[in-house]
Amino acid sequence: MDAGQVEKAQSLGLLTGTDSLCPAVLFSPLRLLVVYPWTQRFFQSFGDLSSADAIMGNSKVKAHGKKVLNSFSDGLKNIDDLKGAFAKLSELHCDKLHVDPENFRLLGNVLVCVLAHHFGHEFNPQVQAAFQKVVAGVANALAHKYH
């Protein structure tokens, strides 16, 4: 990502750390479970996931979603070395959690949709392009240590 694109992404506050994490963004992992229901396979013990309303109101999913987005935001502080920043998480997702990296791409695209939903016209094509690079970078970094 070049400096101009980083600025565009930062202009929406997403990259400025957990304090500034836009609350709407926290709903992305919940939306993932609604839009791509097979992703629920990792959350069998999380209680009621039987409908969109149940998922969006599920406190365990919300808490886990917050964890995921905070990690995402922390990792972005090292935007020039995403592979390094997410190395340990990559190993965890492969060796312990056994998550197909395709799920990282799905979450990235849901995050982009949520940002569009929240920011409307501000989320123009150029800003979207910057974020597509960010989410692709994070997904690749999380998949990097898989074997």
CB 106 within 8 A of CB 36: yes
Nearest CA among 73, 69, 57 for reference residue 29: 69
Whole-number Å distance between alpha carbons of 58 and 44? 13
Query: Which positions touch another protein (CB under 8 A)?
Result: 30-31, 34-35, 52, 55-56, 109, 112-114, 116-121, 123, 125-126, 128-129, 132
DSSP single-letter state for residue 45? G
72 or 119: whose CB is closer to another protein? 119
56 or 87: whose CB is closer to another protein? 56
81 or 122: whose CB is closer to another protein? 122
Residue 34 phi/psi, 5-degree rounding, is -85, -45
Shortest distance, position 147 Cβ to another protein, whole Å: 25
Shortest distance, position 47 Cβ to another protein, whole Å: 17
